[in-house]
Chain A
Amino acid sequence: QAQLVESGGGLVKSGGSLRLSCAASGFAFSDYYMSWIRQAPGMGLEWISYISGTGSIIHSADSVKGRFTISRDNAQNSLYLQMNSVRVEDTATYYCASFNYGGGSDAFEIWGQGTMVSVSS
């Protein structure tokens, strides 16, 4: 069964760094684009970034450009989000999701359970 499991969340001070991980299993990870999405407490969903199956294509939201970097290791079936220069407004639950891009559903089909990031001032 296809599954995504995030880890790496926690409490970090403003200006600090954190690396989130997302472990994939049960599907052909390298065939899929992957994405990070976040949800601030009590708020809606915000797309952050996605990466192609080979890692050659990356797009990110303006709100995180220059601070957050998405990457993947297909040999380890893992997706990462390096978060630098974090701000209080980055406090959110972070989800990874498979993105069936181009010819498939063009939707986020499989989601992890989320990992919480809290940024203190």
Chain B
Amino acid sequence: DIQMTQSPSSLSASVGDRVTITCRPSQIISRYLNWYQQKPGTAPKLLIYAASTLQSGVPSRFSGSGSGTEFTLTISSLQPEDFATYYCQQTYNTPITFGQGTRLEIK
């Protein structure tokens, strides 16, 4: 199984900050890497697929990059609605696996 390691596990930041979350798969997954945002009590929402493609309707302050075994999600200027938990996911092979999540909190 491909293990997905996110860092940091939690992060405190302020509105307007630039933040980066890293995801490292345990083996090469090409660009089969997706990012999701989840707010408390709601379902996850797809933000970015194929490492860097923004899902329709997602604000352009979100961006993704990377390939192989290191990927990043960047939020260029945090907005109040961005405080949530973020998960990376690989769909390179089965079993599909998620990172453990990064909780983004207000400083």
Contacts and interface: CB of A to CB of B under 8 A. Distances in A.
Contacts of A28: none
B11 interface: no
Contacts of A32: none
A46 B49 contact: no
B101 A105 contact: no
A107 B94 contact: no
Given A45-B98, A108-B44, A111-B44, 16 more contacts: A35-B96, A44-B98, A44-B101, A45-B44, A46-B98, A47-B97, A59-B94, A62-B95, A106-B34, A107-B34, A107-B49, A107-B50, A107-B55, A108-B46, A109-B46, A113-B42
B3 interface: no
B89 A112 contact: no
B92 to A, nearest CB: 9
Contacts of B95: 47, 59, 61-62
A106 B97 CA distance: 13
Interface of A: 35, 44-47, 50, 59, 61-62, 95, 99, 101, 105-109, 111-114
A47 B49 contact: no
Contact of B32 (A47, A106, A109): A106
B47 to A, nearest CB: 10
Interface in B13-72: 32, 34, 36, 38, 42-46, 49-50, 53, 55
Contact of A105 (B38, B45, B55, B99): B55
B91 interface: yes
Contacts of A35: 96
A45 B87 contact: yes
A107 B87 CA distance: 12
Nearest to A98: B46
A107 B89 contact: yes
14 contacts: A44-B98, A44-B100, A46-B98, A47-B96, A50-B96, A59-B94, A99-B91, A105-B46, A107-B50, A107-B55, A108-B36, A108-B46, A109-B46, A114-B43
